[in-house]
């Protein structure tokens, strides 16, 4: 009997067997010829996944928060002005990181939880002061709010700010075209739509970001995040030469190269379209079951995850029954509404059958806590979207 639950949280996600096999290989030396080749290939593939052919990839052992820290540490100097387009919990985190490195931070906040600032508000802020840098959270993992990255990046460029996108819950799932859209730095972590177990901070810096780094007046404040240390490492491995600053996460990089190959085999346009279709199917199911979502409107809603309020009379105990039915979901994260909602990740290797299994488990859990709904309504709504 299969004794394993389907993991449908916003990261870590389900990983392909090929990625897991790479994780389980005997660990090689970080200067072994076969590892040097794999690391170099992974760096080349990251440019293709981020759609940034002129970018410089960085792969560092750490979390998405380290990727955020790396961006701030290398681009901010004390006294620089930074604008944070705030859509929730992780925008707050980016603001705190920027302040730690001495930035004077202004935040354009969403008018309510589940919303995003209007482009006009962001433009007014950009007009009002000379910002070195603007950060955008592509998908806030706490609320499933998706930002208009393309529109915001155009504004940032127009007013001379470096555009930094926190794509932790977005890259390789949400559509993002880094170079075409004028994004100067994009970042993510391995355990989300990139499809690799946790442990890698992934950054792609464009030419303007690298110029800003090279033109710094003072040393980078973080020893471990300093591109002065890491840039020669990345350049070395890509030229198929061993370099050392800190020991890379060898097995994770083997797995990363496998997953990047799978992503590129699917094709970025096809991958974006698949994620949109699966998201539409799941959100249709949630609506059919009479549940409301945290994002206030469809155009503010992420593709890679769904955040749903519990129905009236239902609380987080339903998650235990859903787990008993075979699917693990995540509780709320945003502190102001933490007990009122739950989150479902659907990114990476997720398939239509995973969507249907999850909807079925939710229906079973809701029935067990006494919520009244039309049995099968969620499944029928999802299938209507998924049907060829």
Reported as a single tens digit per residue, the pLDDT across 1-39 is 467 899 999 999 999 999 999 999 999 999 999 999 999
pLDDT for the residue 1: 42
Residue 180 to residue 272: CA distance in whole angstroms? 16
User: Within 10 A of 375 (CB to CB), how many other CB atoms are there?
Assistant: 12
For 83, half-sphere exposure in the C-beta direction (CA atoms, 13 angstrom radius) is 27
Domain shared by 322 and 218, yes or no: no
Domain shared by 245 and 381, yes or no: no
Q: CB-based burial of residue 317 (10 Å sphere; 0-12 exposed, 13-18 middle, 19+ buried)?
A: exposed
Residue 120 to residue 30: CA distance in whole angstroms? 49
Inside any domain, residue 375: yes
- Enter the tokens of residue 100: 């730690």
Domain shared by 163 and 206, yes or no: yes
Inside any domain, residue 273: yes
Please spell the DSSP secondary structure of 300-316, one letter per residue: GB-SSEEEEEPPTT--T
Domain shared by 101 and 199, yes or no: yes
Q: What 3-state class would DSSP assign to 386?
A: helix
Domain shared by 220 and 105, yes or no: yes
> What mean pLDDT is reported for the chain?
97
Domain shared by 251 and 295, yes or no: no
Domain shared by 103 and 175, yes or no: yes
Residues near 323 by beta carbon (within 8 Å), at least 6 away in sequence = 5, 329
Reported as a single tens digit per residue, the pLDDT across 259-303 is 999 999 999 999 999 999 999 999 999 999 999 999 999 999 999
Query: What is the sign, positive or negative, of the torsion defined by CA atoms of 363, 368, 369, 375?
Result: positive
Give the percent of the chain with pLDDT over 90.
Answer: 98
Q: Is the pLDDT of residue 121 over 50?
A: yes
In angstroms, the Cα distances linking 365 to 32, 35, 322, 383 are 50, 46, 5, 19
- Enter the tokens of residue 214: 């090279």
pLDDT for the residue 3: 75
CATH assignment of the domain containing 73: 3.40.640.10
User: Within 10 A of 103 (CB to CB), how many other CB atoms are there?
Assistant: 24
DSSP assigned state of 341: E
Inside any domain, residue 91: yes
Q: Is the pLDDT of residue 374 over 50?
A: yes
The residue segments making up the domain with residue 359 are 6-11+267-386
Domain termination site, one of 266, 288, 314: 266
Q: CB-based burial of residue 309 (10 Å sphere; 0-12 exposed, 13-18 middle, 19+ buried)?
A: middle
In angstroms, the Cα distances linking 226 to 10, 69, 220 are 29, 10, 6
pLDDT for the residue 4: 86
Inside any domain, residue 1: no
Domain shared by 274 and 245, yes or no: no
Domain termination site, one of 249, 266, 283: 266
Reported as a single tens digit per residue, the pLDDT across 205-253 is 999 999 999 999 999 999 999 999 999 999 999 999 999 999 999 999 9
Mean pLDDT calculated for residue range 146-175 = 98
Domain termination site, one of 242, 266, 290: 266
Mean pLDDT calculated for residue range 104-121 = 97
Domain shared by 70 and 109, yes or no: yes
Domain shared by 60 and 149, yes or no: yes
Domain shared by 237 and 304, yes or no: no
Q: What share of the chain is helix, strand, coil (3-state, %, to 5)?
A: 45, 15, 40
CATH assignment of the domain containing 302: 3.90.1150.10
pLDDT for the residue 2: 65
- Kindly give the residue spans of alpha helices, DSSP state H, lying in the chain: 17-23, 33-50, 64-75, 89-100, 119-128, 149-158, 178-181, 207-214, 227-238, 250-266, 268-288, 317-324, 352-368, 377-386
Number of domains in the chain: 2
Residue 287 to residue 303: CA distance in whole angstroms? 15
Inside any domain, residue 296: yes
Reported as a single tens digit per residue, the pLDDT across 65-105 is 999 999 999 999 999 999 999 999 999 999 999 999 999 99
pLDDT for the residue 229: 97
Q: 82 has which bridge partners? A: 105, 133
Domain shared by 138 and 51, yes or no: yes
Q: What 3-state class would DSSP assign to 339?
A: helix
């Amino acid at each position: 009997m299969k004794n394993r639950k389907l993991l449908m949280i916003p990261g870590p996600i389900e990983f392909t067997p090929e990625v897991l096999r790479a994780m389980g290989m005997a660990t090689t030396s970080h200067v072994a010829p076969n590892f040097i080749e794999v690391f170099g290939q992974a760096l080349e593939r990251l440019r293709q996944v981020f759609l940034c052919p002129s970018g410089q990839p960085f792969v560092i052992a750490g979390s998405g928060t380290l990727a955020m820290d790396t961006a701030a540490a290398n681009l901010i100097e004390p006294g620089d002005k930074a604008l944070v387009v705030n859509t929730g919990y992780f925008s707050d985190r980016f603001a705190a990181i920027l302040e730690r490195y001495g930035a004077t931070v202004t935040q354009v906040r969403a008018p309510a939880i589940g919303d995003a600032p209007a482009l006009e508000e962001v433009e007014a802020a950009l007009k009002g002061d000379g910002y070195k840098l603007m950060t955008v959270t592509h998908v806030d993992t706490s609320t499933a709010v998706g930002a208009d990255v393309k529109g915001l990046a155009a504004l940032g460029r127009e007013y001379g700010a470096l555009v930094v996108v926190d794509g932790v819950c977005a890259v390789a799932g949400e559509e993002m075209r880094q170079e075409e859209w004028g994004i100067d730095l994009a970042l993510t972590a391995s355990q989300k739509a990139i499809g690799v177990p946790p442990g890698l901070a992934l950054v792609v810096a464009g030419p303007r970001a690298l110029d800003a780094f090279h033109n710094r007046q003072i040393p980078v404040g973080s020893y471990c995040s300093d591109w002065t240390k890491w840039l020669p490492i990345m350049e070395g491995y890509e030229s198929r030469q061993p370099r050392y600053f800190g020991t890379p996460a060898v097995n994770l990089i083997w797995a990363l190269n496998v997953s990047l190959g799978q992503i590129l085999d699917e094709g970025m346009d096809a991958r974006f379209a698949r994620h949109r279709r699966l998201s539409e199917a799941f959100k249709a199911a949630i609506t059919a079951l009479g549940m409301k979502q945290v994002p206030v409107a469809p155009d503010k809603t992420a593709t890679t995850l769904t955040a749903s309020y519990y129905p009236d009379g239902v609380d987080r105990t339903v998650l235990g029954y859903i787990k008993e039915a075979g699917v693990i979901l995540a509780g709320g994260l945003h502190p102001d509404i933490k007990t009122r909602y739950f989150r479902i990740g659907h990114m990476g290797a997720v398939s239509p059958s995973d969507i249907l299994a999850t909807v079925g488990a939710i229906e079973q859990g809701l029935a067990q806590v006494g919520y009244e709904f039309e049995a099968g309504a969620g499944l029928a709504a999802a299938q209507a979207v998924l049907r060829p």
